[in-house]
Amino acid sequence: MEQQEKSPWKIIYTVILVANLVYILLFYWITQTYTIS
Amino acid sequence: MGGNLDYRDWIVLSVTILFIVIFGIYRTRKNRSVQDFIKGGNNTKWWTIGLSVMATQASAITFLSTPGQAFHDGMGFVQFYFGLPIAMIIICLVFIPIYYKLNVYTAYEYLETRFDLKTRSLAAILFLIQRGLATGITIYAPSIILSYVLGWDLIILNIVIGLLVILYTVSGGTKAVNVTQKQQMVIIFFGMLIAFYLILQYMPDGITFSKALDIAGANDKMKVLDFSFDLNNRYTVWTGFLGGTFLMLSYFGTDQSQVQRYLSGKSLRESQLGLLFNGLLKVPMQFFILLVGVMVFVFYQFNSSPLNFNPKANEAVISSAYAEEYRALESQHKKIEEQKRVLFLDGVQDSERSLVRELNKKDKALKERAKEIIALADDEVETNDKDYVFIHFILNNLPKGIIGLLLAVILAAAMSSTASELNALASTTTIDIYKRNVAIGRTEAHYVSASKWLTFAWGIVAISIACVANLVDNLIQLVNIIGSVFYGNVLGIFLLAFFIKYVRGTAVFIAAIITQLIIFAIYFMDVLPYLWLNLIGCVIVMILAVFIQTFMQSNKTEPIDNIKGLE
C-alpha cells in the first residue's frame, strides 16, 4: 500500500527531472546552433 | 505626476490594478483566526499554491530587469535557475513533511523544537533583516524606473505601490495574497505573450523568428549554456547547479515568504504539488522572459536605440560640458547601427560574422566611453542601463493601451511579491518574536490584530527603505546578492536540524553568528561570484557547528531521537 502511494510521487519527480533535462538539451542545441564558434 | 501616458493606457492600468486590490479585499473579508490570516484557512489548492509561489518570486524586477539582462549579456542568466527543480524535490521530500507534521505557522518554529528558542529567534531575525531589505527593493525597483521614464514622482510611487499592497494584505492576510496572485499571474502571462508577439510583428519583412535567432546568435546573445570553470563568470552551468541549488533550497525551504505560500495548502499533497509545478515551469518561464529581451535586442538592430537607455543619464550629459563629445559618440553609434541594419536585412551570412563582431566591439567601446562621460557629468546617475531597456522599448514602440497593460504587468508583479513579503514579515514577527517572546498566552483575536498591525508596520518600513534606496547594481542581481549573503547560513541551520542530530542549539547559535560575519567579510572583499556565497555559508555553518559541539560538554555521541513532535 505504501509502495503504491510512493510510486506516483516517484513518477512525478522523475517527470520533473526528465523535463528539465530536456530543457537543458534544448538549450545545448540552441547554444551550438546559434553561437559563433 | 502624470508623465506622458495616453488616456487609454491610464484606463487599462488603473482598472487592472484597482480590480486586483478590490477583489482581494472583497474575497477575504471574513478572515477571523490566526490560521485564516497566516495559513489562508489551510484550504488552498495546488495550482493556486503553484501560481502563488511563482508570483512571489517573480517581482517587477524580473520583468523590468531580466529582458535588459538578456539584451546586454544574452541568454546565460537562465542557468541561474537550474538548481530550482532539484531544490523543489528535496523540499518536497524533506522540509514539507516535517513542517506539516509539526503543524508550524513559520519555518523558524520548527527550529525551537529541534534546537532551542535562541536559535529559532536568531534565524527569524536573520530572515527579517534580509527580507525587510529585499521588500524595500521590491517596491523601489519599479518605482525608480517608472519615475525616470515617465517623470512620476519617486516618493509618491513608492507610497502608492506600498499602500495598495498594504490595503489588501492587512485586510485579508495569506488568503488575500493567494487570491490576488492568481489574477496577477494571468495578467503577467498575457501581457508578456502580447509583447513577444508584437516584437516579432515589428521585425522587417523577411525577418522570421528563425532569422531573428540567427541575428541574435551572431551578436553573441544565444550562448545559453556556459560550461567554463572561470570563477569570474557569474552564470555558468556549475554556478547554476551548485550555487543555484543551495540558493533555491534556502529561498523556497526556509524563507517564510515562500514557506507561507505552500503551508496554506489543503494538504501535504497539495503543498508538494504546488512546489513541483514550479519545478516544471520555472526554467521555461525564465527562458521565455530572457528571449523577450533578446528579441528586443534584435528589434533594435533594425531601429535606432539610444547610447544609454537611462533617460536621466542622457539628461545629465546633454546639459553638461561633455554634450558635444557625447553627441559625437551618438553619431558614431548611429553609423554602426546603420551598418548592422543593412547587414541584417537579409539575415546573417557566415561570411559576415567577423564583421559583426568587429562592429559590436566598436559599439561596446562607444558605450563604455559614454558611461565614463555620464559619470563625469554627474557621478550620482546610474550608468548601468540594463533595467531601462525593456521599459524604453515598451513606451516607445508598443500601441496605446498595450503600454498600459505592460505597466500593469510590472506593477502587478511588484505588488504580488511585496504582498507575500509583507505577509511573511508580519507572520514571523507575530509568531516567532511577539507571540513566543513578548506577549505569550493572549487570545486568537489579539494575535490576528497584532498580525494586521505588523503587516501595516512592515509596509511602512518597506516604503521607507524604498525611499532611501539607491541602485547599486542591475536590480535582478541586487536582490539575489542580498539573498545570497544571508541564505547560506539559514539553510545550513536547517540542514543541521534535519540531518545532523548530533548538534545542539548552542553550537548552532554560535556557529551561525560566526558564519554570518565571515560571509559579510567575503562579500565585501569581492573575491567570488555571489552565487557561491550560498554554498559557502551553508558549508561553513555546518562544519563550525559540528566543531563547536564536539568541544562542548554534554551528549557528545548520543543522537537526539526523542524530539517532541517527531516521534
Chain B residues inside the 8 Å CB shell of A14: none
pLDDT digits (tens, 9 = 90+) for A7-31: 788 999 999 999 999 999 999 999 9
With vertex at residue B244, the alpha carbon angle to CA B71 and CA B136, rounded to the nearest 5 degrees, is 70
pLDDT of residue A28: 96
Instruction: Tell me whether residues A34 and B357 touch, CB distance under 8 A.
Output: no
Question: Which residues on neighbouring strands pair with residue B347, listed in sequence order?
Answer: B345
Residues B519-545: what's their mean pLDDT? 89
Size of interface A-B (CB pairs under 8 A): 59
User: What does the alpha-carbon distance between residue B150 and residue B170 come to, in Å, rounded to a whole number?
Assistant: 30
DSSP string, B451-509: HHHHHHHHHHHHHHHHHH----S-HHHHHHHHHHHHHHHHHHHHHHHHH-TT--HHHHH
Is the CB of A22 inside 8 Å of chain B's CB atoms? no
Tell me the shortest Cα–Cα distance from B165 to chain A, in angstroms: 34
Which of B112, B416, B104, B123 minimizes the C-alpha distance to B263? B104
Tell me the shortest Cα–Cα distance from B151 to chain A, in angstroms: 39
pTM over cut 0.80: yes
The ipTM estimated for the assembled molecules is 0.90
Tell me the shortest Cα–Cα distance from A1 to chain B, in angstroms: 17
pLDDT of residue B561: 44
Residues B211-219: what's their mean pLDDT? 94
pLDDT of residue B244: 85
Predicted confidence (pLDDT) at residue B534 exceeds the cutoff of 80:
yes
At B504, is the pLDDT very low, low, confident or very high (cuts 50, 70, 90)? very high
Is the CB of B75 inside 8 Å of chain A's CB atoms? yes
pLDDT of residue A25: 96
Residues B28-46: what's their mean pLDDT? 78
pLDDT of residue B152: 84
Instruction: Tell me whether residues A23 and B283 touch, CB distance under 8 A.
Output: yes
Instruction: Tell me whether residues A34 and B283 touch, CB distance under 8 A.
Output: no
pLDDT of residue B482: 84
Q: Give the number of C-alpha atoms closer than 13 A to the C-alpha of residue A16, restricted to the C-beta side.
A: 27
Q: What are phi and psi of B347, to 5 degrees?
A: 85, -165
Residues B304-323: what's their mean pLDDT? 91
| Helix, strand or coil, per DSSP, at residue B345 | strand
pLDDT digits (tens, 9 = 90+) for B386-430: 889 999 999 999 999 999 998 888 888 888 889 999 999 999 999
At B476, is the pLDDT very low, low, confident or very high (cuts 50, 70, 90)? low
Chain B residues inside the 8 Å CB shell of A28: 224-225
In the predicted model, what is the mean pLDDT of chain B? 88
CA distances from residue B402 to B237, B310, B392 in whole angstroms, order as listed: 36, 22, 14
Cα dihedral across residues B196, B199, B201, B205: positive or negative: negative
pLDDT of residue B308: 93
pLDDT of residue B472: 52
pLDDT of residue B396: 92
User: What does the alpha-carbon distance between residue B215 and residue B90 come to, in Å, rounded to a whole number?
Assistant: 40
pLDDT of residue A35: 86
At B3, is the pLDDT very low, low, confident or very high (cuts 50, 70, 90)? low
Tell me the shortest Cα–Cα distance from B100 to chain A, in angstroms: 17
At B84, is the pLDDT very low, low, confident or very high (cuts 50, 70, 90)? very high
Chain B residues inside the 8 Å CB shell of A36: 217-218, 220, 353, 357
Which of B478, B521, B508, B503 minimizes the C-alpha distance to B560? B503
CA distances from residue B269 to A9, A11, B261, B266, B274 in whole angstroms, order as listed: 10, 14, 14, 8, 9
pLDDT of residue B564: 39
pLDDT of residue B562: 39
For cell 567579510, name the residue.
B521
The distance from CA B544 to its chain's CA centroid, rounded to whole angstroms, is 30
Predicted confidence (pLDDT) at residue B352 exceeds the cutoff of 90:
no
For cell 557629468, name the residue.
B377
Is the CB of A14 inside 8 Å of chain B's CB atoms? no
Question: Which residues on neighbouring strands pair with residue B44, listed in sequence order?
Answer: B265
Which of B242, B290, B229 minimizes the C-alpha distance to B76? B290
pLDDT digits (tens, 9 = 90+) for B173-207: 888 888 888 888 888 888 999 999 999 999 999 89
Which of B338, B346, B351 minimizes the C-alpha distance to B215? B346
Portion of chain A with pLDDT greater than 90, in percent = 65
Residues 346-405 of B with CB under 8 A from A: 353, 357
pLDDT of residue B556: 53
Is the CB of B214 inside 8 Å of chain A's CB atoms? yes
Q: Are the beta carbons of A23 and B287 closer than 8 angstroms?
A: yes
Q: Are the beta carbons of B83 and B243 closer than 8 angstroms?
A: yes
Q: Give the number of C-alpha atoms closer than 13 A to the C-alpha of residue A11, restricted to the C-beta side.
A: 6
